[in-house]
């Protein structure tokens, strides 16, 4: 569920960037400020769902969601590293 929501945001942004580049520049500035907060909330939400699923006995689903939560955390870490490297280059 969380992954689907994230994919909807990504697809919407890509469509906006293709058809309205000026709008996406403003959106990109806003998203740069809020993306870490959004991914952190999605990460915590995924962890809480995984724990709940584990408690009610659906272990396969909880491990799958935990996997996606870890992937979100790695994506945030990778985006921060890329941002730091691009700041050093410029």
Q: What is the mean pLDDT of residues 73-80?
A: 66
Q: What distance lies between CA 2 and its chain's CA centroid?
A: 9
**Percent of the chain topping pLDDT 70:** 16
Q: What is the mean pLDDT of the chain?
A: 67
Q: pLDDT at residue 1 above 70?
A: no
- Give the residue, 74 or 79, on which the prediction is more confident: 74
The model's confidence at residue 71, banded by pLDDT at 50, 70 and 90, is: confident
| Domain count within the chain | 1
Q: What is the mean pLDDT of residues 44-66?
A: 67
- Per-residue 3-state assignment (H helix, E strand, C coil) for the chain: CHHHHHHHHHHHHHHHHHHCHHHHHHHHHHHHHHHHHHHHHHHHHHHHHHHHHHHHCCHHHHHHHHHHHHHHHHHHHHHHHHHHHHHHHC
Residue 85: domain span: 2-89
pLDDT of residue 85: 57
Q: Indicate the pTM of the whole model.
A: 0.34
| Residues comprising the chain, all counted | 90
């Amino acid at each position: 569920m969380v992954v689907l929501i994230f994919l909807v945001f990504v697809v919407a942004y890509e469509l906006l960037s293709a058809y309205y580049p000026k709008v996406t520049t403003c959106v990109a500035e806003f998203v740069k400020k809020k993306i870490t907060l959004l991914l952190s909330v999605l990460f915590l939400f995924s962890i809480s769902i995984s724990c709940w699923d584990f408690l009610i006995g659906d272990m396969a689903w909880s491990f799958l969601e935990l996997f996606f939560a870890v992937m979100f955390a790695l994506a945030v870490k990778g985006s921060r590293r890329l941002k730091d490297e691009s700041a050093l280059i410029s």
